[in-house]
Amino acid sequence: MRFLAALTIVLMAAPALGARSSAVTVYAVPEDLVLISSLDFEEELLEMATESRGTSGGSETSHDPPKMLLLSMAVPGAGQLVQGESRGYLYLLVEAAMWGGFYYLDKQGLEERDDYEDFVIATWDLAAYQDFFDENCLENPHDYANGCRPLAPVGSQEFYEDVGKYDVYWPWWSGDGSPNDISPEDMAIRDEYWDMRKESNGHLRQARYFMMAALLNHVVSALDSFFIARAVPSDGPADLGLEFGVPDDSLGLTCALTAKY
């Protein structure tokens, strides 16, 4: 909902009674608050109005859009809070939540990676496969039909992926491997390993999503802070303004201080 608060001073010439009179009336309505005051010398009123306009227009805002953009880009929500926007706390909360989620999931995924790597070293018969490969595959190392496929460097991520992905390696999961002879025990161990790997990769992938969301929060906060600063006029706060006018009876001058929030 948008509210408008207005303080209006109506300066009017009083009757020629040789003395000044002043009347104050206050109205309370859902959209504005009007304070009406009347004085009796029009020249004095015009001088006061001119001074008020000069005072309000002389101050320069400190909400520089590029600075606010960089501030919120560095720390989401900081630019909003500097400008008095409480939604800056929301950006800070999102920032903390995203990096907290990233840290938790990344740590869990890396621990699970260590677990499945240890599982391969302890379970998959590397020595038996290397002996088989040296005896049968040196002339044709890519003879997949006969169980030959060069191993990736042991310990690399490619190695840990290949032994669970390609069936030429599966007969050596139970330790009694022979080419193209995949036993139910081989499949059970391989499936257990593959599930461990999928769980680890899933958590690491989710951690990357949290990191991307945190970086996006920086960008959104920076743009929001920039546009908030752009909305601030150079002669004062974004939510304040002075409006001058002449009443219908032309007796004086009106000055309205408006606030929008």
pLDDT of residue 31: 39
Average pLDDT rounded to a whole number, residues 217-232? 91
Q: Identify which has the larger pLDDT, 178 or 228.
A: 228
- Residue pair 23/12 in contact by the 8 Å Cβ criterion: no
Most confident of 114-118, 174-178, 234-238: 114-118
pLDDT of residue 23: 40
* Among 33-37, 85-89, 182-186, 250-254, the least confident range: 33-37
Q: What is the pLDDT of residues 27-85, one digit of tens each?
A: 343 433 333 343 343 444 345 444 444 444 433 445 789 999 999 999 999 999 999 99
Which helix H or strand E contains 11, and what residues bound it?
Answer: strand 4-11
pLDDT of residue 243: 56
Above pLDDT 90, what percent of the chain? 53
Degrees to nearest 5, angle at CA 172 with 113 and 188: 65
Q: Identify which has the larger pLDDT, 13 or 222.
A: 222
Average pLDDT rounded to a whole number, residues 167-191? 87
pLDDT of residue 248: 65
pLDDT of residue 247: 64
pLDDT of residue 253: 52
- Residue pair 173/191 in contact by the 8 Å Cβ criterion: no
| Domain positions in the chain | 1-61+235-261, 89-217
pLDDT of residue 211: 97
- Residue pair 76/87 in contact by the 8 Å Cβ criterion: no
- The b/e string for 180-197 (b: 16+ C-beta within 10 A; e otherwise) is eebeeebeebbeebeebb
Above 80 in pLDDT, residue 22? no
